[in-house]
Amino acid sequence: MPRFAILAIGSFDYLLNKTGNMLIRYRPKEVVAVIDPEKSGKTADEIIGIGGSLPVVASFQDAEKYQPDTLVIGSAPPGGVIDDQTRKELLAAIDAGCHIISGMHVFLSDDDELQDRAMQKNISITDLRRPPSPPHFPKGTWQDRKVPVLLVVGTDCDSGKMTTAWEITQRLRSHGKKVNFIGTGQTGILLGGSGVAVDAVVADFMAGEMEYLIDKACDGADLVVVEGQGSINNYAYSGVTMGLLHGCMPEFLVMSHDPIRHMDVLDCPLPDIKDLIQIHLDLMKPFRDTRFLGMNLLTFTLSEQDAVDTIKEYERKYNLPATDLVRFGDRELINAIATVLM
């Protein structure tokens, strides 16, 4: 079992530390410390509401007493550039014999100083966002595919697509379904053990990479669940969403949404969800009759009663089963997905 220390300098909160937070939520026994000098002395539970007494420390030196063997960069800032403080912590971890796992856009294994030091210490640097080489071209194998694919899409970035996809996967498995998961970002790859960081793939190859991964994942499966990225209505990140949509050619879709959000991360108004659902279906019409099976809502900012009322309102308004999988469990969403697999 690995022993992760999560590097989250100035970013250990509910939203920015996405990769680290998912490790804390879904692989808690493997995380031994979080490094964030701005919040040192606190616990994970005090800051993000999960993780119990997991300690937050100021530096890797302070984390060493918890005996980590792997340092994971918990957040991926835009552009992925490492600053001097991050470099200092990475070098300290390498000198202590820790492996490095990064989801940054800049590949740490291409950094001469870090790579030379890693080779001296005989440790590995893993860049989760490094795309496959050589790339894969689409062949249209989806036309003969026998195993259905479910793609999670969202109304915006940071709307819970990875969490939704992983929760669906785990819950269907607990119901006895053989479900394979494909990660499409650094967090999903780290949790699931396979996938491709689609935002690092040249646009011409996105569909081919997804087709290739799905073809492999179909073996022995009842369903393949694919983590979504971006959103079709976000002008900065719609390209990855389109690449996933047409690369996966999904039979089924699930929408992930933050119900208190009315503007996207770029301060553009969110479209009505009914319109957004129709946009996705229209984009799939030339290829197949894709169906939405339900919605997963992020209700962590709402009181329990407001969250329940919101879920019921969305079910009535959009005629789809809805829940907050983390907070309220399956409700009717997982049953709706399981039913179409019978």
For residues 54-66, average pLDDT: 97
If one counts the domains in the chain, the total is: 2
How would residue 246 be classed by pLDDT, with cut points 50, 70 and 90?
A: very high
What CATH number is given to the structural domain containing 113? Answer: 3.40.50.720
- pLDDT tens digits, residue range 17-27? 889 999 999 99
Query: Is the domain of 84 the same as that of 194?
Result: no
How would residue 235 be classed by pLDDT, with cut points 50, 70 and 90?
A: very high
Tell me how far apart the alpha carbons of residues 31 and 53 are, in angstroms, rounded to a whole number.
11
What CATH number is given to the structural domain containing 324? Answer: 3.40.50.300
pLDDT at residue 4 is higher than 60: yes
State which of 63, 97, 127 marks the end of a domain.
127
Domain-located, residue 324:
yes
What pLDDT, on the 0 to 100 scale, is given for residue 179? 98
Domain-located, residue 133:
no
The pTM (predicted TM-score) of the whole model is: 0.93
Query: Is the domain of 239 the same as that of 314?
Result: yes
- Which are the contacts of 80, defined by CB distance < 8 A and separation ≥ 6? 104, 105, 106, 129
Query: Is the domain of 154 the same as that of 301?
Result: yes
Question: 224 lies in which domain range?
Answer: 141-340
Interhelix angle 273-284/304-318, nearest 10 degrees: 50
Query: Is the domain of 42 the same as that of 94?
Result: yes
Query: Is the domain of 204 the same as that of 290?
Result: yes
Tell me how far apart the alpha carbons of residues 37 and 222 are, in angstroms, rounded to a whole number.
45
Query: Is the domain of 257 the same as that of 306?
Result: yes
State which of 85, 100, 127 marks the end of a domain.
127
How would residue 216 be classed by pLDDT, with cut points 50, 70 and 90?
A: very high
What pLDDT, on the 0 to 100 scale, is given for residue 79? 59
pLDDT at residue 121 is higher than 70: yes
Domain-located, residue 307:
yes
